[in-house]
Chains A and B, each alone.
Chain A
């Protein structure tokens, strides 16, 4: 009996083992290889395996031309004034974005997800939640590089409410050319809402077509593309509050429509493609710096 007790005691450590901190580990230099083609993040983190109960498509392309990258203290055109000022009513700067010192002064560090809920601080996608909305010399450490297939992820918690959604994005290419041009991109943002007592989810895809993004590597600034959930869902007669209450994940993908390129670049390098698997053409990718769920609450 005593031997069995001792044996049972030695098994306790194994019973205690869980994988909380070891569930997402990487080798050195993951998605930060120093090469363009080695930095694509194409994971869907099992979001693509979700059973979809219903699919709702919403075309909200009217916000496409509101994508903005204001300099200095200028305001963002995609959000109302009240959503881009600090507690004292002063405008938050989009241009500056220091996650350590910028809270209540700069837009990114103030509105970022890791500030709203600390659970967003963990994981490789914490790059999208830290408040750094531009490159700032951090290159791949500050962003997620997306192929046309995009990426997907579950949220660390379930959303209770949110007011607006935004992404800081820009384009890039793996050529030395295309330095001062822009690209037109169609984005799809899909949000997954869980259904009570069911494994299936309802999917809501909001398409924003015709977004103009910079392709210039020499201008490493992200631009904010944002919209209000109320307006987006209301365009289909849906109650945004009801939909946001229960969102568990999201995915996004895009399509490169056209590039406003110098004909010399096209002649020298070829036409850009948004498909990383195309070995013939030079590649275009979306650099995603930040994902926002403005004024959101989570449980």
Chain B
């Protein structure tokens, strides 16, 4: 491509475009989704043009492992039944999910790229959004309002009652809207993760960097404290523990293996639990003739309490039941069609759509069907494996690695338990899809950054390889 060669400093231009794209997505001008999709696709196409010849053969092999799960998931989510009305938007969503992943993978191919650049671009944009919204919240609600008004939390709007301790105001698009604290605190959680990198930055030698990351983390902390919304902090504990361990503890290989096996065991148990929960829900769709498993669970007091009668499983079971039905296999049916299901069945689907399970993995079932949850579990497991490799082998600086891994870990944990798909308090019919959200696209970019190219190993890895070759020679 001769004309491309004429552009000087191509790499700097691409890095700049990537930073701009991420910054705009992080600021999340809500409701103007086409801008993010279009921008991401434009930057992605330009990146592909400039980077396709920088991938080696080994890269393609490992990319064949890294990319397909997200690719398949994006098909289910983009073309799932629930949000299938706008075909153009669906295509843009499909393209942008994969392109943001590719941008994260390809970013390091460009000379001069540092993870600091994108971290600061994303962090400053999110901080700006959080600061604006926080100041307006202070003006309209006062400080610590969730604690101050916990005994008189009810206000009336349009004859309906709302709980002031569960909401805040947020800049969405160019409007200030009443939004659930659960939704907005995800941004603050991401910002707090920046402060974990301070453990690896010397305040004397890298004062500016220390201050930047310190301020970003402080803004996130300030937001959560001045509401207050302390529940969010529990989702930061694992990432903080990882940062502390990486900073202060030298883990032996044996301890490392034990941790690995323990996490694998916990994951296996979680997957097993989900399988049982799904089979129980599927088996109890017909209340008059439940399946054997559903009968066993409901007849045992302890199992019934765990799988059925608790406020966490209640909404999850509603979604799982509908997800197990044939007509909802590729996403919940959005409109009544008497050839497919009866009106009472459609009403049950509608009830499931508005049920908020607060787990993004479960909510995906509404959009893309039951297979999405298996894919997302696979992606999370892969994320863990690639994150370990990234922490060990990446050329990124320690603070960059810790911040990226902390953001991904904390965001995933937070959204696994505090995901609000109807965040607009006074507009409860507005469905906010997890994957059709600009902030999620940024997270997908960071996920892509976990990819380590085998073709360009770290100096340690190079030395290891050289040693291996010498041994073979001998």
Q: Which residues of A pack against B, CB within 8 Å?
A: 13-14, 16-22, 24-28, 30, 99, 114, 121-127, 129-130, 132, 141-142
- Indicate if B333 sits at the interface (CB-CB under 8 A): no
A16-B139, A25-B149 known; A126-B154 Cβ under 8 A: no
Contact with A along B150-177 (1 / 0, CB 8 A): 0111111111110010000000000000
The list of the 4 closest CB pairs from A to B, nearest first, reads A130-B159, A127-B159, A25-B152, A26-B154
Q: Bound state CA distance, A126 and B426, in angstroms?
A: 14
Q: What are 24 A-B pairs at a CB distance below 8 A?
A: A13-B138, A13-B143, A16-B138, A17-B138, A17-B142, A21-B141, A21-B155, A21-B164, A22-B145, A22-B155, A25-B152, A25-B154, A25-B155, A25-B164, A99-B158, A121-B158, A122-B155, A122-B157, A126-B156, A127-B156, A129-B159, A130-B159, A141-B159, A142-B159
Give residues 67-93 of B contacting A (CB, 8 Å). none
Distance in angstroms from B304 CB to nearest chain A CB is 30
Assess whether B158 is in contact with A24, with CB atoms less than 8 Å apart: no
Within the assembled complex, what's the spacing in Å between the Cα atoms of A127 and B151?
Answer: 22
Q: State how many angstroms separate the Cβ of B169 from the closest Cβ of chain A.
A: 8
Q: Name A17's contact: one of B139, B153, B155, B158 (CB within 8 Å).
A: B139
Please encode chain B, from 104 to 147, with 1 for each CB lying within 8 Å of some chain A CB and 0 for all others.
00000000000000000000000000000001001111110100
Known: A132-B159, A141-B159. A22 touches B149 (CB 8 A): yes
* A244→B226 CA distance, assembly (Å): 44
Instruction: Indicate if the CB atoms of A26 and B139 lie closer than 8 Å.
Output: no
B141: nearest chain-A partner, CB-CB: A21
The CA-CA distance from A125 to B158 in the complex, in Å, is: 9
In the complex the two chains form, what is the Cα distance from A249 to B164 in whole Å?
A: 27
| Known pairs A16-B135, A27-B151; A22 contacts B141 (CB<8 A) | yes
Tell me the bound Cα distance from A117 to B73 in angstroms: 46
Q: How far is the CB of A34 from chain B (nearest CB, A)?
A: 15
**Residue among A22, A26, A124 with the highest chain B CB neighbour number at 10 A:** A22
How close is B247's CB to chain A, nearest CB, in angstroms?
29
Are A99 and B159 closer than 8 Å at their CB atoms?
yes
Residues of chain B having any CB pair with chain A under 8 Å: 135, 138-143, 145, 149, 151-161, 164, 226
B137 to chain A: closest residue by CB: A21
Interface centre among B141, B152, B159, by most A CB within 10 Å?
B159
> B141 to chain A: which residues have CB within 8 Å?
21-22
Q: Which residues of chain B are within 8 angstroms of A27 by Cβ–Cβ distance?
A: 151-154
Give Cα A9 to B372, complex, Å.
Answer: 49
Interfacial chain A residues near B154, Cβ < 8 Å: 25-28, 30
Tell me which of A17, A114, A125, A129 has the highest count of chain B C-beta atoms within 10 A of its own C-beta.
A17
Smallest CB–CB gap between B280 and chain A, Å? Answer: 34
Name the CB-closest residue of B to A19: B142
The distance in angstroms between the C-alpha atoms of A17 and B135, with both chains bound, is 9
Separation of A13 and B227 alpha carbons in the complex (Å): 13
Residues of chain B within 8 A (CB-CB) of A26 are: 152, 154-156
Q: How far is B149's CA from A26's CA once the two chains are assembled, in angstroms? A: 9
Chain A residues near B135 (CB-CB < 8 A): 16
Q: A17-B143, A22-B145, A25-B153 are in contact. Are A126 and B138 (CB under 8 A)?
A: no
User: Closest CB of chain A to B160's CB: distance in Å?
Assistant: 8
In the assembled complex, the CB of A140 is this many whole angstroms from the nearest CB of chain B, namely 11
Interface residue SS majority, chain A:
loop
In whole angstroms, what is the CA distance A285 to B135 when docked?
A: 45
**Which of chain A's residues have a CB closer than 8 A to the CB of B159?**
99, 126-127, 129-130, 132, 141-142
- How close is B379's CB to chain A, nearest CB, in angstroms? 39
Contact in complex: A22, B164 (CB < 8 Å)? yes
Q: Could you tell me the distance in whole angstroms from the C-beta of A61 to the nearest C-beta in chain B?
A: 31
Task: List the B side residues contacting A122 at CB < 8 Å.
Answer: 155-157
Query: How many whole Å from A177's CB to the nearest CB in chain B?
Result: 30
Q: How far is the CA of A121 from the CA of B152 in the complex (A)?
A: 19
A126 touches B153 (CB 8 A): no
Contacts of B156 in A (CB 8 A): 24, 26, 122-127
In angstroms, Cα B158 to Cα A122, docked, is 6
The answer to whether B139 touches A126, judged by C-beta atoms less than 8 angstroms apart, is: no
CB within 8 Å for A22 and B151 given contacts A121-B157, A130-B159: no
CB distance from B218 to the nearest CB of A (A): 13
Q: Which of B140, B143, B157, B164 contacts A126 (CB 8 A)?
A: B157
Instruction: Check if B158 sits within 8 Å of A126, measured CB to CB.
Output: yes
> Is there contact, CB below 8 Å, between A22 and B142?
yes
Give complex CA distance A25, B148 in Å. 11
CB-CB under 8 A from A19, the residues of chain B are: 142
Residues of chain A contacted by B155 (CB below 8 angstroms): 21-22, 24-26, 122-123
CA gap between A125 and B145 in the complex, in Å: 23
Contacts of B143 in A (CB 8 A): 13-14, 17
A287 vs B138: C-alpha distance when bound (angstroms): 38
The distance from the CB of A210 to the nearest CB of chain B, in whole angstroms, is 30
Chain B nearest CB, measured from A131 CB (Å): 9
List 9 additional contacts besides A17-B143, A18-B142, A22-B149; criterion CB under 8 Å.
Answer: A14-B143, A21-B155, A25-B149, A25-B164, A27-B151, A27-B152, A121-B158, A123-B156, A126-B156
Which residues from A are CB-within-8-Å of B161? Answer: 141
User: Across the interface, do B158 and A114 meet the contact criterion of CB distance under 8 Å?
Assistant: yes
B153→A21 contact, CB < 8 A: no
B143 nearest in chain A by CB position: A13
Cα(A121)–Cα(B141), bound, Å:
18
CA distance A130 to B157 in the complex (A): 9
Q: With both chains docked as a complex, state the minimum distance between the C-beta of B109 and any C-beta of chain A, in angstroms.
A: 44
In the complex, A17 Cα to B143 Cα: how many Å? 7
Residue among A16, A27, A122, A130 with max Cβ neighbours from chain B (10 Å): A16
A44 → chain B closest CB, angstroms: 18
Output the nearest chain A residue to B142 by Cβ-Cβ distance.
Answer: A17
Q: Which residues of B contact A14 (CB under 8 A)?
A: 143
Measured CB to CB, the closest approach of chain B to A191, in angstroms, equals 23
Contact B139 A20 (CB under 8 A): yes
CB B108 to nearest CB in A, in angstroms, measures: 40
Taking CB as reference atom, which chain B residue is nearest A18?
B139
> Considering the chains assembled together, what is the distance between the CA atoms of A26 and B153 in angstroms?
6
Cα–Cα distance between A264 and B139 once the two chains are bound (Å):
59
Closest to B153 in A: A25
Give Cα A18–Cα B138 distance, bound, in whole angstroms: 8
B1 to chain A, nearest CB (A): 53
- A132 to B151, alpha carbons, bound, how many Å? 29
A18 → chain B closest CB, angstroms = 6
Residues of B close to A123: CB separation below 8 A: 155-156
Look across to chain B and name the residue whose beta carbon is closest to the beta carbon of A118: B158
A22 and B151 CA atoms in complex are apart in Å by 13
Minimum Cβ distance to chain B for residue A280 (Å): 34
Chain B hits for A22, CB < 8 A: 141-142, 145, 149, 155, 164
Determine the chain A residues whose CB is within 8 A of the CB of B142 once the complex forms: 17-19, 22
Residue of B nearest to A120 (CB): B158
CB distance from B449 to the nearest CB of A (A): 36
Chain A residue numbers with a CB within 8 Å of B153 are 25, 27-28
Min C-beta distance of A76 to chain B, whole Å: 22
Q: Which residues of A contact B158 (CB under 8 A)?
A: 99, 114, 121, 126, 130
